[in-house]
């Protein structure tokens, strides 16, 4: 800073502007969204892909805060159809805000799938739904503050992880990941305002 002050005024001004721009860009690179005390980074790395936070919101049940969730995509989208149709890696980043049993969590996911699919649409997903449910039930419970990620990896499939540890094996088929996304983004979402929040509205 001393060197800046000793430099010619117009040079110092130019250097100060460059410094201010650098600080702004650095701040933007580390921008976060706060949902009920949970901070979602603007960017997350998934495999070889860098994903951008599309939107984040709060899941509530009656008066209780259940979890905060963020949706990460390769490219931001504001319509459910565009999100469901987008190729490439995706991530649902969930942080629990109260203790949940694995059964509560799996039951809610199954209910969300059933609400947004006909019996004919659910039929080819049944074996994979059962496998995903068993991976969740293996957890027994999710403590407050646990981080649950449900990732779509084009080269592998749907991956469930809790606090960074993979649960079960990757489940093949982008149709299965779309079915999971419809829990929050379908015609009958878990919560209307949460759907809007995940779409960045």
**What whole-number distance in Å separates Cα of residue 59 and Cα of residue 106?**
15
User: Shortest CA distance to 198 belongs to which of 56, 17, 65?
Assistant: 56
pLDDT tens per residue, range 132-149: 999 999 998 999 999 999
CATH number at residue 42: 3.50.70.10
**What whole-number distance in Å separates Cα of residue 97 and Cα of residue 14?**
47
Shared domain for 157 and 108, answered yes or no, is: yes
Shared domain for 103 and 185, answered yes or no, is: yes
Whether the Cβ atoms of residue 99 and residue 66 lie closer than 8 Å to each other? no
Domain limits at 23? 1-30
Shared domain for 187 and 130, answered yes or no, is: yes
Shared domain for 21 and 111, answered yes or no, is: no
The pLDDT assigned to 6 comes to 43
Radius of gyration of the chain (CA): 21
Shared domain for 119 and 176, answered yes or no, is: yes
Query: 3-class SS at 68?
Result: strand
Shared domain for 26 and 36, answered yes or no, is: no
Highest mean pLDDT of the ranges 31-35, 138-142, 176-180: 176-180
User: Shortest CA distance to 94 belongs to which of 31, 13, 193, 184?
Assistant: 184
pLDDT tens per residue, range 99-118: 999 999 999 999 999 999 99
Shared domain for 126 and 182, answered yes or no, is: yes
Shared domain for 104 and 119, answered yes or no, is: yes
Shared domain for 70 and 147, answered yes or no, is: yes
Provide the Cα torsion 126, 132, 135, 141; round to 10°.
Answer: -110
The pLDDT assigned to 30 comes to 55
Shared domain for 1 and 57, answered yes or no, is: no
Percent of the chain with pLDDT over 90: 82
**Residue range 53-78: average pLDDT?**
97
Give me the phi and psi of 154, to 5 degrees please.
Answer: -50, -30
Shared domain for 83 and 112, answered yes or no, is: yes
Percent of the chain with pLDDT over 70: 85
**What whole-number distance in Å separates Cα of residue 133 and Cα of residue 143?**
18
User: Shortest CA distance to 190 belongs to which of 116, 95, 99?
Assistant: 116
**What whole-number distance in Å separates Cα of residue 68 and Cα of residue 94?**
6
C-beta neighbour count of 150 within 10 angstroms: 20
Among the residues of 41-167, which ranges form H helices?
Answer: 80-85, 102-115, 119-122, 126-137
Shared domain for 4 and 85, answered yes or no, is: no
Burial of 71: CB neighbours in 10 Å, binned 0-12, 13-18, 19+: buried
Number of domains in the chain: 2
Query: 3-class SS at 42?
Result: coil
């Amino acid at each position: 800073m001393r060197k800046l002050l000793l430099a010619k005024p117009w040079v110092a001004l130019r250097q100060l502007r460059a410094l201010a721009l650098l600080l702004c860009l650095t701040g933007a690179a580390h921008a976060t969204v706060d949902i009920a005390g949970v901070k979602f980074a603007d960017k997350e790395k998934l495999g070889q892909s860098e994903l951008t936070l599309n939107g984040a919101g709060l899941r509530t049940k009656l008066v209780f805060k259940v979890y905060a969730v963020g949706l990460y995509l390769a490219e931001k989208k504001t319509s459910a159809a565009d999100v469901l149709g987008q190729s490439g890696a995706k991530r649902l980043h969930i942080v629990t805000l109260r203790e949940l049993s694995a059964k509560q969590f799996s039951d809610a996911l199954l209910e969300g799938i059933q609400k947004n699919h006909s019996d004919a649409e659910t039929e080819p997903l049944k074996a994979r739904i059962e496998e995903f449910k068993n991976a969740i039930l293996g957890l027994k419970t999710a403590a407050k503050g646990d981080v649950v990620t449900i990732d779509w990896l084009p080269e592998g499939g749907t991956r469930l992880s809790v606090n960074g540890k993979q649960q079960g094996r990757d489940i093949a088929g982008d149709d299965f990941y779309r079915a999971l996304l419809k829990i929050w983004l379908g015609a009958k979402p878990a919560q209307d305002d949460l759907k809007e929040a995940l779409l960045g509205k």
